[in-house]
Amino acid sequence: MENLFENVFIDTAARYSVAILCLILFLAILELVTSYKNWDEIRQGNMSVAMATGGKIFGIANIFRYSIEHNDTLVESILWGSYGFILLLIGYFIFEFLTPSYKIDKEIENDNRAVGFISMIISIGLSFVIGASIG
């Protein structure tokens, strides 16, 4: 089995598949954390939810990019990618905590594009910070 992952095509397919599965899992977790239904809101044309969700997708994918780049094994990549997701999730809660005068989720659900944009940028920005520290 070890020799199988020495083939760059198989290793790439394995890492890609795992990253996609983790992305789906992490998006499901984010769906549970937010007060709105991401995909229902996006289907209805809510650009704020689309920006916030897009930022989270980019953030998760970017964290996995760093995780794959800096780790030799698939298991290490999964562990570091998962740890990075947890940090990204903590960043989401910090953003909510730092805006006590209004609820981030409610503003995004109401299509406040300024809040959706900031949420997107926070997810993207934090993903670079998290990714840079992945070992």
Q: pLDDT by residue (tens digit) across 48-99?
A: 999 999 999 999 999 999 999 998 888 999 999 999 999 999 999 999 899 9
Average pLDDT over the chain reads: 93
Separation CA 33–CA 128 (nearest Å) = 22
Query: What share of the chain has pLDDT > 70, as a percent?
Result: 96
Per DSSP, the three-state class of 111 is coil
Q: What is the pLDDT of residue 17?
A: 95
For residue 57, count other CB atoms closer than 10 A to its CB: 17
If pLDDT is split at 50, 70 and 90, which confidence band does 42 have? very high
Q: What is the pLDDT of residue 135?
A: 66
- 52 contact partners, CB below 8 Å, separation of at least 6: 108, 116, 119, 120, 123
pLDDT above 80 (res 5): no
Q: Is the pTM of this model over 0.75?
A: yes
Q: Taking CA 118 as the corner, what is the angle to CA 112 and CA 123, rounded to the nearest 5 degrees?
A: 125
CA distances from 129 to 15, 70, 123, 126 (A): 22, 14, 10, 5
Which of 89, 64, 93 has its CA nearest to residue 77?
A: 64
Separation CA 44–CA 18 (nearest Å) = 30
